[in-house]
Amino acid sequence: MATKLAVLTSGGDAPGMNAALRSVVRAAIYRDWNVVGIARGFAGLIEEDFRPLFRRSVGGIIHRGGTMLRTARCEEFTTPEGQRQALAFLERIGVERLIVIGGDGSMAGARALAEAGLATVTVPGTIDNDMAGTDYTIGFDSAVNTALQAVNMIRDTAYSHERIAIVEVMGRHSGHIALSTAAACGAEFVLVPELDFHMDDLTEKLRRCRYDGKKHGIIIVAEGVMSGYELAERLHDVTDYEPSITVLGYIQRGGAPSAYDVTTASRMGDLAVDIAAEPGAGHLIAMRNNRIEAVPYAEIGDAKRGLDMELYQLIDELSM
């Protein structure tokens, strides 16, 4: 009987998840496997919501943001009872292998199922790019490019009105989007959750910029530090600046994936199927030193991917 593979997307959606799905489905069918898609992440395993997927089922999605399978964050699945239910369901429908596309929380779920004996492989997908074990997660490049495009438009008006533009970007616990956006747009200052923020450092930087003849500026703040509105108030309290505030929000998670995200998703999805075929599969598909490889869950620590401090220094150095 043909091997049966299930695939799901879980956690926050990210541009490129559909391209990863397309790759998984077609690579598996190329091997003569049967594929089922689980709806709404791990919730679909508990609600038993699935459908068979064929080559044509994943046609016309390579360029689409979001995920055609839909996604969710499922509390019930984090309990032993939820996981037992999910395993029983997969066994009943004859699924022997599972590919999960998502971030850290999703990998934790896939890992729990692997420890219970199911072959699982995780494809990293989150705009935050903060997962342990991999240098890159699908969706990050697209999210940063979306943020950059927006900031470049905001900069036009900040220049014309001689204002400080505060732009709040996503990242409740992680500053990678803020940092890369700040570097790419040449921001004067960036606030990230990983580093302590001192108002004096910001006001001193703005003072030096003004002394040097700069009449406008851009501050990128990750949502996990404080809101753009709060930062504007605090800045207003100690300076005579009247900042403009823009919250980019969910536009960073939507939209067409970049070329980099589509090709990375396609390559990662294909390797995920190869690894799922091996006995004892329990791996994350990771980007390490620009190479895509499979890393056993057991070799991945708890530490989230650290911030690039060299890039942080560079932003400061080049923005005067």
Which residues bind to ligand F6P, rule: CB under 6 A? Answer: 12, 126-128, 170-172, 253
Complete DSSP assignment for the chain: ---EEEEEE-SS--TTHHHHHHHHHHHHHHTT-EEEEETTTHHHHHHT-EEEE-GGGGTT-TT-SS-TT-----SGGGSHHHHHHHHHHHHHTT--EEEEEESHHHHHHHHHHHHTT-EEEEEEB-TT---TT-S--BTHHHHHHHHHHHHHHHHHHHHHHT-EEEEEE--SS--HHHHHHHHHHT-SEEE-TTS---HHHHHHHHHHHHHTT---EEEEEETTT--HHHHHHHHHHHSS---EEEE-GGGGT-SPPPHHHHHHHHHHHHHHHHHHTSTT-EEEEEEETTEEEEEEGGG--SPPPPP-HHHHHHHHHHT-
Of the two residues 3 and 246, which places its CB atom closer to ligand F6P in the complex?
Answer: 246
Rounded to 5 degrees, what angle do the CA atoms 226, 124, 141 make? 60
Q: How far is the CB of 33 from ligand F6P (least distance, A)?
A: 30
Residue 208 neighbours by CB under 8 Å, 6+ apart: 320
Q: How far is the CB of 204 from ligand F6P (least distance, A)?
A: 29
Q: How far is the CB of 12 from ligand F6P (least distance, A)?
A: 2
Of the two residues 128 and 141, which places its CB atom closer to ligand F6P in the complex?
Answer: 128
Of the two residues 235 and 287, which places its CB atom closer to ligand F6P in the complex?
Answer: 287
Of the two residues 181 and 319, which places its CB atom closer to ligand F6P in the complex?
Answer: 181
Of the two residues 35 and 183, which places its CB atom closer to ligand F6P in the complex?
Answer: 183
Asked if residue 34 lies in contact with residue 65, where contact means CB atoms within 8 angstroms, the answer is no
Q: Report the Cα 145 to chain-centroid distance in Å.
A: 13
Q: How far is the CB of 317 from ligand F6P (least distance, A)?
A: 27
| Tokens coding 130 | 């903060």
Q: How far is the CB of 180 from ligand F6P (least distance, A)?
A: 13
Asked if residue 78 lies in contact with residue 109, where contact means CB atoms within 8 angstroms, the answer is yes
Q: How far is the CB of 49 from ligand F6P (least distance, A)?
A: 20
Of the two residues 122 and 126, which places its CB atom closer to ligand F6P in the complex?
Answer: 126
Known catalytic residue: 135? no
Catalytic residue among 13, 128, 141, 261: 128
Residue least distant from ligand F6P (Cβ): 12
Active site residues: 128
